[in-house]
Structure 1
Amino acid sequence: MAPGTVRHTPRLTRALFPLGLLFLAVGISTALVMPFLSLFLSTDVEAGPLKVTVFLIVAPLSGVLGSTVVGRLSDRGPVRRLLLIGGALAGMAGCALTAVVRDYWILLGLTVTALAVANSLFPQSFAYARQVLERDAPDRAAMGISGLRTVFSLAWVAGPPLAAFLLATGGFTWVYGGAAIMYGLAAVVGICWLDEVGAPAAAPATDDAGAVDAPDAARWTLLLTAAAFTLMQTPLTLAVQALPLFIRTDLGGEVSDAGLVLGLCAALEIPLMLGLGVLSTRLPLRLLLFAGAGCGAAYYALTAVATSVWVLVGAQVLNALFIAAVSGLGITYMQDMLPRHPGRATTLFTNSFPLGAMLAGPLFGVAQHFGYRLAYVICTALCLAGLALLTVVRPGTGYRGSRARTGRTDSTSGYRRPS
């Protein structure tokens, strides 16, 4: 390993530890609110089916728009720390008001403003982490990003049970109050412990030897890659929506068996995500991503022909490998394609999940009509289509997937040190 690789390891640890706390706080706040949003709208807000549907469509769309706008702003100067703090404060204000407001239109207004800005915290946290890793340990970028992604997964292990406890104890006032506290904690971490990182270098850039640094990938390459990730992330929502009904109607199991299957997958996903992060320092990122997508297609194909719940239980290793590869390594893959725009790159990737979730809605309706086993046939086709699109769309000559692990120091990483 090159000497420059570990030169800033103590500083890297000091930077990533508070960032891990921020990820945990943001993850818990999201996990408290999202699983019970439709219940909140139906019961406390007393919104009808049409209003609930409109809210559930507008919320992710406004989040995508908010993240995109903030992502473009974040790459124009050394302002990412301030954007993280601003997003956390917006989330705290939005959740605090939601804890006491029950007017549908006011809540919708909060969703498209404060909570849409708060939605940028997830991609901006990864973009901040990428810049820190490029500065201090460029050969460990994928491993670091995967490690931080597992913190978000851990938050989702703790968040829903905590939300259920708060809901039973104090209703949605406590649920949204708890989410506001978590956003407040994220803001405190940003204010007290995070340092501002240097702005991405302007393109085209040269390193100290005078060589031109890696350019950004072409626009169509980025859009088609984002489309591929959207295709592969659509099954993450569609399969979960169909699972309890599929187990009950097609496999003769209990709805509670879905909890066993999903819990096992979550338990396997975290160590596998860390393991793939370690492997990314030795194997090409693109190869690991393709292998993970192949595991996803194999899992959904196996589920489509399953005859018992135990087949699904045994196949969760494939499912966890798929989620770990796409959700963990996909961020780094997209960031490598936009080396001087980590905010835009991360936002392109993270937006693929809400877009995939919206696509899953009508596909679930088709499965309801023709049988829930069809949902997993569709998931298999979506995984294969996403994998095929990734295979056809080459990252281009500027792709840094291999160079990012060569141990370059910050003088050649494409980033300026903060002055």
Structure 2
Amino acid sequence: MAAMAQETSTRTATRLGRALLPLGLLFLAVGISVALFNPFLALFLSTEVDAGPVKTTVFLIVAPLAGVLGSSLVGRVSDRRPIRRRLLIIGAVAGVVGTGVTAVVRDYWVLLALAITAFALAGSLFPQSFAYARQVLLRDDPARAPMGISALRTVFSLAWVAGPSLAAFLLDSGSFVWVYGTAALTYAFAALIAIFWLDEVPAPAPPAADEPAAVSGDAPRWTLWLTAAAFTLLQTPLTLAVQALPLFISTELGGDVGDAGLLLGLCAALEIPLMLGLGLLSTRLPLRLLLFIGAACGIGYYGIAAVSTGLWMLVAGQVLNALFIAAVSGLGISYMQDMLPHHPGRATTLFTNSFPLGAMLAGPLFGLAQHFDYRLAYWLCTALCAAGLLLLIVVRNDHATRHA
């Protein structure tokens, strides 16, 4: 019996590995594409397109809003029929079109039209990839689903470590044609993976029409929206703190932009093993508890940053910062997916949309910090993390408290 169990376990692990390899490459390709496109977008609009401050601001607001709407619509459609693989292909092809045209076109209105069409569709790749991975993991090894999601999220983080540096190199060596042309090639690689390497997964089994939410496993609508609001509060500091960091270091701590870059690199380096470690812990501890710990680490880090008197305090606090980001970004997806087991596309989209919404909320808060004091940005981040944690505690969700 023991030999049979071991053989079954080995067979399952092999099958899971074969399924995760193309998914890992897909996540790497999508991550590099996004990391090439986003960091220098404002510079591109200002210098290459010659868009003024108003047009640039409009673009930077409209584009993420269109992405949120597009991802939400695709998320709802994806859970009704077995078309998730086709949606991944469509999203990747839309990314090829969007970045390919951006590489050669410099007309503002054409680019804005792309933002609300092609790029809005391409934005669905991220949540749909996680929804596809969720279904594959539940099929092959349900107990390790959160760990698998965390591992794939780590691949996306790795892409963001390399992507901006590659974009800067391409920009120095050539021009934005090189940057967005390379992004188009990576989107094309993602499309090829989805076409030739991924199998279609069946649509999630819907709950019975007369089955109550408590039995079907789906959380009530108000629980979903309040949990999504909690994640928006928790992810707003990820944008606000990064925007304020170089200015805070130079004006308050006597450092320079290079110090900010080193801090961000240190945090990213710590994030990756911590994300994997939390994924392993999720097989033994409830996701809810791990998220509480992660949010508490965010409160601790931003509190330290708000009262810091030297750069060394920020350096020491990066372990807390990385734990916070790893918990929220790595485990939050599985937490939301557990709340809507019959709708992985919708659940993942609810979570992933919290980041662009948080980024938009960070804009006026950064303006407030600019007006008063950059240290205020970190007090605001502390308050946002505390509010997000409080909301998660208050919004009881029995479906997501069980062990993975």
Instruction: Give the shorter-chain TM-score range.
Output: over 0.9
* Percent identical: 73
Measured against aligned partners, the alpha-carbon deviations of 1:276-310 in whole angstroms (never above 9, x if no partner) come to: 00000011111001000000000000110000001
Q: How does 1:170-209 map to 2 (within 5 A)?
A: 170-204=174-208
For 1:365, the equivalent position in structure 2 comes to: 367
Question: Cα deviation per residue 1:353-402 (whole Å; 9 max; x = unaligned)?
Answer: 00000000000011011100111000000000000000000114xx1552
State the AA in 2 paired with 1:156.
Answer: W
* Bigger Cα displacement from structure 2, 299-308 vs 212-221: 212-221
Partner of 1:270: 272
Are 2:98 and 1:102 aligned? Answer: no
- Matches of 2:215 and 2:200 in 1, distance apart? 23
Which residue does 2:402 correspond to in 1? 402
Which of 134, 137, 141 is equivalent to 2:141? Answer: 137
**SS of corresponding position for 2:106:** coil
AA aligned opposite 1:295: C
Quote the residue 2:348 is aligned against: 346
Secondary structure of 1:99 counterpart: helix
Give matches, 1:108-257, under 5 Å: 108-204=112-208, 214-257=216-259
**TM-score, normalised relative to structure 1:** 0.92
Match of 1:331 among 324, 329, 333: 333
SS of 1:319 mapped into structure 2: helix
Whole-Å separation in 2 of the counterparts to 1:394 and 1:77: 31
Instruction: Determine if the alignment matches structure 1 residue 90 to structure 2 residue 94.
Output: yes
Residue 170 of structure 1 deviates from its aligned partner by 1.9
Tell me if the contact between 2:287 and 2:400 (Cα under 8 Å) persists in the aligned partners: no
Q: 165-174 vs 130-139, which deviates more?
A: 165-174
Corresponding position of 2:47: 43
Q: Is the 8 A contact 2:267 2:318 kept in 1?
A: yes
Q: Distance in 1 between matches of 2:306 and 2:381?
A: 9
Contact 1:6 1:137 in 2 (8 A): no
* Partner in structure 2 of residue 413 of structure 1: none
Larger helix percent? 2
What residue number does 1:409 align with?
Answer: none
Counterparts of 1:170 and 1:245 in 2: how far apart (Å)? 29
Task: Confirm or deny: 8 A CA contact 2:365 2:377 kept in the other structure.
Answer: yes
CA shift for structure 1 position 205? 8.6
Give the equivalent residue in structure 2 for 1:29: 33
Matched with 2:307 is 305
* Separation in 2, partners of 1:118, 1:135: 26
Task: After superposition, give the CA deviation of every residue in 1:215-246 in whole Å (9 maximum; x if it has no partner).
Answer: 21000000000000000000000000000010
Structure 1: distance between partners of 2:355 and 2:14? 34
Give the aligned partner of residue 416 of structure 1.
Answer: none
The 1-side partners of 2:378 and 2:206 are apart by 45
Specify whether residues 328 and 54 from structure 1 end up closer, same or farther in structure 2 by C-alpha distance, changes over 3 A only. Answer: same
Moved more, 329-338 or 1-10: 1-10
| 1:307 match: secondary structure | coil
Residue type of the partner of 1:273? M
- Please give the alpha-carbon distance, in whole angstroms, between the structure 1 residues aligned to 2:50 and 2:257: 27
Structure 1 residue ranges (4+ consecutive) displaced by more than 3 angstroms after TM superposition: 1-7
Partner AA of 2:319 in structure 1? V
> Partners in 1 of 2:387 and 2:401 — Cα distance?
22
Question: What code does the residue aligned with 2:285 have?
Answer: L
The amino acid across from 2:40 in the alignment is F
In structure 1, C-alpha distance between the alignment counterparts of 2:221 and 2:215, rounded to whole Å: 18
Match of 2:377 in 1: 375
CA contact (8 A) 1:92 1:183 kept: yes
**For the residues of structure 2 that align with 1:268 and 1:282, how far apart are their CA atoms?**
22
State how far apart, in whole Å, the 1-side matches of 2:370 and 2:81 are: 49
Q: Secondary structure at the match of 2:36?
A: helix
Give the structure 1 partner of residue 387 of structure 2: 385
Q: Given the alignment of the two structures, is residue 66 of structure 1 paired with residue 70 of structure 2, yes or no? A: yes
Matched with 2:61 is 57
Q: Output the aligned Cα RMSD.
A: 1.7
The question of whether the paired residues in 1 share the 8 Å contact of 2:288 and 2:400 is answered with no
Separation (CA, whole Å) in 1 of partners of 2:11 and 2:259: 49
TM-score by length of 2: 0.96
Local SS of the residue matching 2:242: helix
Contact residue 45 and residue 104 of structure 1 kept, 8 A: yes
Aligned equivalents of 1:267 and 1:400: distance in 2? 29
Encode CA deviations 1:23-71: one digit per residue, 9 max, x unaligned.
0000000000100000000011001111000000001000001100100
Whether the 8 Å contact between 1:292 and 1:321 is mirrored in structure 2 is: yes
CA deviation after TM superposition for structure 1 residue 6, in Å: 6.3
Distance 1:263 1:100 in 2: 32
Q: Which amino acid aligns with 1:69?
A: L
1:371 and 1:6 map into 2 onto residues whose CA distance is 57
**Contact 2:92-2:122 within 8 A present in 1 as well:** yes
Structure-2 residue corresponding to 1:209: none
Q: Which runs of 5+ in 2 are unaligned?
A: none
Letter in 1 for 2:99: C
Shift of 1:335: 0.3
What secondary structure does 1:47 align onto? coil
